[in-house]
Amino acid sequence: MAPTAGTTRDVIQEPANWRTVPFLLTDTAGMFGQSEDPLQKIVHEHGRKAVLNADVFVFVVDGREGLVPADYEIASAVRSTGRPVIVAINKTDDRRARAGSLDFYELGFEPVVEISAEHGQGIGDLLDEVIERLPAKTEEQKAEAPEPRIAIVGRPNVGKSSLVNRVLREERMLVSDLAGTTRDAVDTKFRWHQRQFRIVDTAGIRKPGRVARSGQVEAVSVLTARRAIADADVVVLVIDATLGASDQDGAIAGEAERAGRSVIIAVNKWDLVKGEGADFAKTFDDKLRFQLKFLEYAPIVHISALTGERTPKLLEAVERVLAERTRRVPTPELNRFLQEVTAAHPIASGGRKAVRILYAAQVGVSPPTFALFTNVQTELHFSYERFLKNRLRERFGFAGTPIRLQVRKRKH
């Protein structure tokens, strides 16, 4: 497949679009590889020339079959164009294919995306990579691109509605209310710093059912939060500065982590605790970190939805974590780094054979996902996994976003 801006003959082309960005998708089926038929050969040559005008190449390889000589032939043809090449490893629904995917990094292209055409897995990520590499988008297309979605969640009365209203009022840029696609809620679009955002709203957030018994209200708000989290890119977990975190906040945070969403902790009503002295913020945050242990990567922002203090900081944090979610670490840099780390702290193994990471690659974004190819079939101990994630964060950032590690025994 090769989306192209030009027009070609003799090849199958289909107009397509992703996230409102239109492009022409060219199928090169049968264009590469050997053929005995001289006529076929001429067609191939012709088609090839046309195809090599593409703006972006999606180089599809067969994960089950592994790297084959024909792949090198195609690699050199597309490399010679100097255009962006995305390697798509197909059939990675198969565990053996996933274990072998490391070989394709030898081709020397980035990014490498794992897909399953049959199961439709990874196709969205692949298309995101494609449109990112297309020649400059028009302003109109940029404006139409779907905006990042923010979910504002938390217990009743922490100030979620006040915060939503504050953000919208302060920025004075309410654009429109949009009917939700999957549920009967209404999302709100707004613009900030030239960028569009969307607040994922649920009926429950705007109109909390305060008439219900308090236990029920809590349960309902976790449910509402869960729906909002599923629809969001970034989750703003609002906590009342006068009350601190609760078990319910822990549950919401866990939900965000499992769903792979970025999280920012907004400690609201800071105006009420400002007089508490210089150490208060530190003591408060330490306690919060202790209570929400696994959210150590989430930035904490102290705000007041009532006065508007530091709410712009919250939006800055949203922008920052959005950028971190899609960060990609180049494979050579990642491997150098992991070699250093594992040399200093070898992986403890229960078995007889020492566990070594032979190679690593970032196989996904949003959330950043890393595959570690090992010499033996193993699982990382919880504490080692945590250690690696912390080192990755120290080195590469990834503020606010969960990190996923997958261990795969290398196929021989």
> If 0-12 CB within 10 Å is exposed, 13-18 middle and 19+ buried, where does residue 158 land?
buried
Output 132 or 271, the one with its CB closest to ligand GDP.
271
Q: Which is nearer to ligand GDP, 156 or 312 (CB)?
A: 156
User: In the complex, which residue's CB is closest to ligand GDP?
Assistant: 159
Nearest Cα to Cα of residue 71 among 90, 94, 93: 90
Binding positions for ligand GDP, 127-166, rule CB under 6 A: 154, 156-162
Applying CB under 6 A, does 26 fall inside the site for ligand GDP? no
* Secondary structure string (H, E, C) spanning the chain: CEEECCCCCCCEEEEEEECCEEEEEEECCCCCCCCCCHHHHHHHHHHHHHHCCCCCEEEEEECCCCCCHHHHHHHHHHHCCCCCEEEEEECCCCHHHHHHHHHHHHHCCCCEEECECCCCECHHHHHHHHHHHCCCCCHHHHHHCCCCEEEEEECCCCCHHHHHHHHHHHHCCEEEEEECCCCCCEEEEEEECCEEEEEECCHHHHCCCCCCCHHHHHHHHHHHHHHHHHCCCEEEEEEECCCCCCHHHHHHHHHHHHHCCEEEEEEECHHHCHHHCCCHHHHHHHHHHHHCHHHCCCCEEECCCCCCCCHHHHHHHHHHHHHHHCCCCCHHHHHHHHHHHHHHCCECCCCCCCECEEEEEEEECCCCEEEEEECCCCCCCHHHHHHHHHHHHHHHCCCCCCCEEEEEECCC
CB of 127 to ligand GDP, least distance (A): 36
For position 256 contacting ligand GDP by CB under 6 A, the verdict is no
Minimum Å distance from CB 271 to ligand GDP? Answer: 5
Q: Are 63 and 92 in contact (CB under 8 A)?
A: yes
- Smallest gap from Cβ 162 to ligand GDP, in A, equals 3
Q: Which of 8, 26, 224, 268 binds ligand GDP (CB under 6 A)?
A: 268
Q: CB of residue 314 vs ligand GDP: minimum separation in angstroms?
A: 12
246 binds ligand GDP (CB under 6 A): no
Residue range at the interface with ligand GDP (CB under 6 A); choices 6-14, 34-42, 303-311, 389-397? 303-311
- Min dist CB 152 to ligand GDP, Å, is 8
Pick the closer one to ligand GDP by CB: 228 or 371. Answer: 228
Looking only at residues 207 through 226 of this chain, which bind ligand GDP when binding is defined by CB under 6 A? Answer: 208
Instruction: Rule CB under 6 A: choose which of 12, 219, 223, 272 binds ligand GDP.
Output: 272
C-beta of 303 vs 407, nearer to ligand GDP? 303
Q: How far is the CB of 315 from ligand GDP (least distance, A)?
A: 16
The residue (of 144 and 271) whose beta carbon lies closer to ligand GDP is 271
How far, in Å, CA of 357 to CA of 384, rounded?
Answer: 13
356 binds ligand GDP, rule: CB under 6 A: no
Segment lying near ligand GDP (by CB under 6 A), choices 24-32, 143-151, 181-189, 269-277: 269-277
Window of 64-72, 256-264, 304-312, 376-384 that interacts with ligand GDP by CB under 6 A:
304-312
Q: Give me the least distance between CB of 200 and ligand GDP, in Å please.
A: 14
- For residue 204, state whether it binds ligand GDP (rule: CB under 6 A): no
Number of residues that bind ligand GDP (CB under 6 A): 16
User: Does residue number 170 form part of the binding site for ligand GDP (CB under 6 A)?
Assistant: no
Q: Which is nearer to ligand GDP, 45 or 276 (CB)?
A: 276
CB of 306 to ligand GDP, least distance (A): 3
Q: Give the integer Cα–Cα distance in Å for 253 and 155.
A: 12
What are the residues binding ligand GDP (CB under 6 A)? 154, 156-162, 208, 268-269, 271-272, 304-306
